[in-house]
């Protein structure tokens, strides 16, 4: 159970986190709950959602959601409206990172990544805007990647989706600025959870054997992990709290957080 007594710096806020049951999303959900927020957990796995709901306590609401399905997204945000009547923060954390040689990608693999990484945030932002407006303004934080700043092999589709996500954030930031809806792009480096290791960065399923040797030989993995072994997911959660607690009148368009 969460130890928060509602007295944290996010007390009274309603926060939705996509990809909330693993990795950075899990750490973000836990941290926001500890800061006193009502946390809406959005993910596909019903069993993991239920377990996290029980762990975080009565102010956590788990909603089985496929961000790549617009009907699923709208149903979840309708549930948020019915429960809370507003939304203060949307964290678009869900993402798929599956490096693979471009020519071996199947249509289904391409569509799966595009739906999760780019269309998912399009759908969630569209559904969240009326609820953020009802709150009198709020924050959207979109998780991008260092792949938009550097060129890595085997990342063509991932890079394209994250570049599109950054463009989406720029456009929405301007469109909704007068309504006090701030949109921040978080360019996030590798973040490892408990028991993580460098091989976690390259989890390409059946394509791993095609990807790993080159990335290892060229030093790509060591470069992105950094000499400190990567950020922790808890430190990523700290960055999210920092972003959404900036005073009104201050806006963080782009934040880069990485290991070195």
- On whether the CB atoms of residues 128 and 90 are closer than 8 A, the answer is yes
Residues facing 191 on adjacent strands:
231
- Residue 22: left if φ>0, alpha if ψ -120 to 50, beta else—which one? beta
Backbone angles phi, psi at 60, to 5 degrees: -100, 135
Q: Catalytic one among 123, 154, 158, 260? A: 158
DSSP 95: -
Helices (H) and strands (E) in the chain, counts: 9, 9
Is residue 260 among the annotated active site residues? no
In angstroms, rounded to a whole number, what is the distance separating the alpha carbons of residues 146 and 47?
32
In angstroms, rounded to a whole number, what is the distance separating the alpha carbons of residues 53 and 41?
8
Q: How far apart are the first and last CA of the chain?
A: 34
Work out the number of other CB atoms within 10 angstroms of the CB of residue 204: 17
Sheet of 89-92: strands edge to edge? 60-64, 38-43, 14-18, 89-92, 138-145, 181-188, 254-257
Burial grade of 127 (CB within 10 A; 0-12, 13-18, 19 or more): buried
In angstroms, rounded to a whole number, what is the distance separating the alpha carbons of residues 214 and 216?
5
* Residues catalogued as catalytic: 158
């Amino acid at each position: 159970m969460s130890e928060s007594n509602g007295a944290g710096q996010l007390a009274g806020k309603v926060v939705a986190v996509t990809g909330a049951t693993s990795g950075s999303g899990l750490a973000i959900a836990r941290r926001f709950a500890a800061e006193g927020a009502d946390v809406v957990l959005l993910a596909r796995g019903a069993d993991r959602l239920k377990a996290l709901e029980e762990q975080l306590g009565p102010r956590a609401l788990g909603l089985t959601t496929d961000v790549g399905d617009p009907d699923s997204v709208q149903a979840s945000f309708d549930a948020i409206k019915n429960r809370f009547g507003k939304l203060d923060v949307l964290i678009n954390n869900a993402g798929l990172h599956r490096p693979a040689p471009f020519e071996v990608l199947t249509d289904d693999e391409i569509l799966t990544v595009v739906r999760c990484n780019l269309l998912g945030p399009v759908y969630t932002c569209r559904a969240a805007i009326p609820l953020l407006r009802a709150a009198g303004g709020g924050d959207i934080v979109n998780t991008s990647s260092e792949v938009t700043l550097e060129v890595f092999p085997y990342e063509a589709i991932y890079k394209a989706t994250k570049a599109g996500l950054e463009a989406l954030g720029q456009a929405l930031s301007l469109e909704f600025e007068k309504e006090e809806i701030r949109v921040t792009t978080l360019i996030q480096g590798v973040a490892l959870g408990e028991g993580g290791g460098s091989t976690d960065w390259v989890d390409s399923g059946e394509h791993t054997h095609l990807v790993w040797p080159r990335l290892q030989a060229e030093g790509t993995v060591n470069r992105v992990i950094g000499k400190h072994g990567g950020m922790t997911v808890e430190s990523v959660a700290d960055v999210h709290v920092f972003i959404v607690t900036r005073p009104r009148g201050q806006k963080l368009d782009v934040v880069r957080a990485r290991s070195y």
